[in-house]
Every structure is written in C-alpha cells, then in structure tokens.
Structure 1
C-alpha cells in the first residue's frame, strides 16, 4: 500500500510539474501580449501627434516634447540628405575628372592623327613644274607658283577634315 501511495504522489507531482509550465507560459504570453498592445497604442498615438493630429489633449510640456522630437528627427533627416548630396557631388566630380581625362586623350590622339595625315599628304604630293604656260604674259613662273601655293592651302584645308589620304590624293593630281 505504501508503494502505491508513493507512486501516486510521484505521478501527481510530475503532472503538476508538467501542467505548471503551461499555465505559467500562458500567463507570461498573456502579459507579454498586453504589454505589446500597450506599446503599439503608444506608438500609434505618437505617430498621430507627429502628424499634427489629436494635439488638443496635450499640455504645454507634452507639446514641447513633441516639438523637440520632431526637430531632432528633422536634424537627422537633413544630415542624411547632406551626406547623400555630398556623396553624389563627389561621384559627379570623379566622373567629370574621368571625362576630362578621356577628352584630353582624344584631343591628343586627334592632333597625332592630324600630324600623320599631314605627313602622308606631303609625301603623296608629286613635284609639280614651277612654270605654267603663260597666256601671253611675261609673268608665267609667278602665276604657276601662286597656283601651287593655292593648291597647298586647299590640301591643308582638306587634311583638317580628317579624310583618309586615299580620298585626298586625286585633288593633288
């Protein structure tokens, strides 16, 4: 009989231990739930106050507190905005510098190309006679020289247009 009573006490004690955490857990969840609900209500109330709603029930100290919180939030927002703008400006300066370097590089290549083109044109020019048959005047060689200088000027003008030498060669012939 004693053993039966001991077993009964052990089982009933074990059952109490098993059911006790459930009730404690349920009670703690209920308490936690009510705390979270109160916190949500307070946050929603603050949001309404920040939006300028339901301000009639606030006293002077509460209004000053809301104003201070809004000022602090505005300062943080402005600081973040300034930071983003400075980063953007810095990035744009980097891009500008890269574009300027690219522009300088392209200008340099263009000048080199012009030099090469002028050199090729001057190599392609055939020696021309210094005199052109005169049209009954005694200044024949001077007219030919003037015409040759005019052709050279035209060739130089054409060379700055970046045309390939093979397209220009027929002008000199």
Structure 2
C-alpha cells in the first residue's frame, strides 16, 4: 500500500513540532541553495520560529542588498523608510529655503532683513568668490598666452625654413644663369673675330697691299660684344 496523503495542520506536540521545524527548515535551506546555484538566482529567506527566533538564508553576501532590491522593485517602501522620509522632509525644505535666500542675497536682493554682521558675511563670501574667479581667469589667460607664444615660435621657425629654401634655390638659379652666360660669351667670340688676323699669322695679306689687321693675342679677350 502506498503512503497516504498527510493532512496539513498544526502539530500539537511541542517536541514533535520543534523537530519538524528543524527538519523542514534544513530542507528549505537546501532547496533555496539549489535553485540559487542551478538557476543563478538571488534568494533570500526569513523565518521566525514559534518563540520568535530569527532564521535567515541569503544566496548573496548581503541580505540587506537583497531587501533593498525587493523594496525598489515592489514599489512599496518599508514603514521605517517612510518614517525616515517623513522626518527628513522638513529639514530638506528648510535647507532649500536657506539656499534660495542666500542666492537672493548674493544677487543684492532681500538685504533689508540682514543685520550688519550678516551683510559683512555676505560681503566676505562674495569677495572670496571674486578672488577665485580672478585666479581662474588669470590662469586661463596665461595658458592662452603660452599657447599663442608656442604657435608664434612654430610659425617663425617655418618662415625661416622657407626663406632658407628660397635663398638656396635662388643661388642655384643664379649659378646656372652665370654658367649659361659664360657659355654664350665663349661661343659668340668666334663669329666676331673670324675676319681678324692673329699676330704671327700669314704675311701674304700685307705683301699684297691689304690692310694690316693683325691684333695681338692678348687683345682678343677684350673685344667688346656686339
């Protein structure tokens, strides 16, 4: 015969009830750990015994973090949290009003309720703020000037490099022009002197009564170009 269905009801015997509680709690812990490991789930269990003793199980290192996640997803803050917010609200309102009043005072508004000491405090705060603003402004100005100086040096260096390259190219061009002129002069002397008789040339021209056109050799290089 198979085992019959056991009716679920409160165990009257205290000893039996305590034994069953311990066994079932251990089995519950085991099943919670299994589902956490097998399914990569975060599980938290809270159990209070008949005597009010707390037993808890958490698959996470912190039970508090799991409870915060539960409150966040359930959308129902705990009673303690609501009470904390209730006490914190007036403080936040007072803080906001103080900040708004200070902003108006810094803008030069609502100064009538302030005493001489309050006005002196506002003046000091504005003076300190102005000093910090000037310090930051000067820092930014120095950084901008430094960047412009570096850029200027870079441009000057590029300018000098370009001038040097242009000068070298110009010198190379002048050298080629001078060589070309020298070649032109050398090639143009022969046509101009083709009818001149060098010293020590043929005497037949003089004997035939022709004019003596002989010129010394040193004069050849000084004949002007046409």
Going by fraction, where is helix more abundant, 1 or 2?
1
Structure 2 length normalisation: TM-score?
0.49
Aligned to 2:136: 80
Larger strand proportion of the pair: 2
Say whether residues 1:35 and 2:91 are aligned partners: yes
Deviation at 1:31, TM superposition (A): 2.3
Partner of 1:52: 108
Counterpart in the other structure of 1:107: 163
Which residue number in structure 2 is paired with residue 137 of structure 1?
none
The number of residue pairs the alignment matches comes to 131
Tell me whether 1:97 sits opposite 2:97 in the alignment.
no
- 1:37 and 1:61 map into 2 onto residues whose CA distance is 25
Matched, 1:120 2:190: no
Larger relative contact order (CA 8 Å, sep ≥ 6)? 1
- Which runs of at least 4 in structure 1 moved beyond 3 Å after TM superposition? 129-132, 141-145
Distance 2:13 2:121 in 1: 71
Inter-partner Cα distance in structure 2 for 1:43 and 1:64 = 18
Q: Which runs of 5+ in 1 are unaligned?
A: 4-8, 15-20, 133-140, 148-173
Question: Which one has the largest radius of gyration?
Answer: 2
What root-mean-square deviation, in Å, do the aligned CA atoms of Structure 1 and Structure 2 show?
3.5
SS at match of 1:127: helix
SS in 2 for 1:56: coil
Q: Deviations over 1:57-89 (max 9, x none)?
A: 100000000000000000000000000000000
Whole-Å Cα distance in 2 between the matches of residues 116 and 99 of structure 1?
A: 26
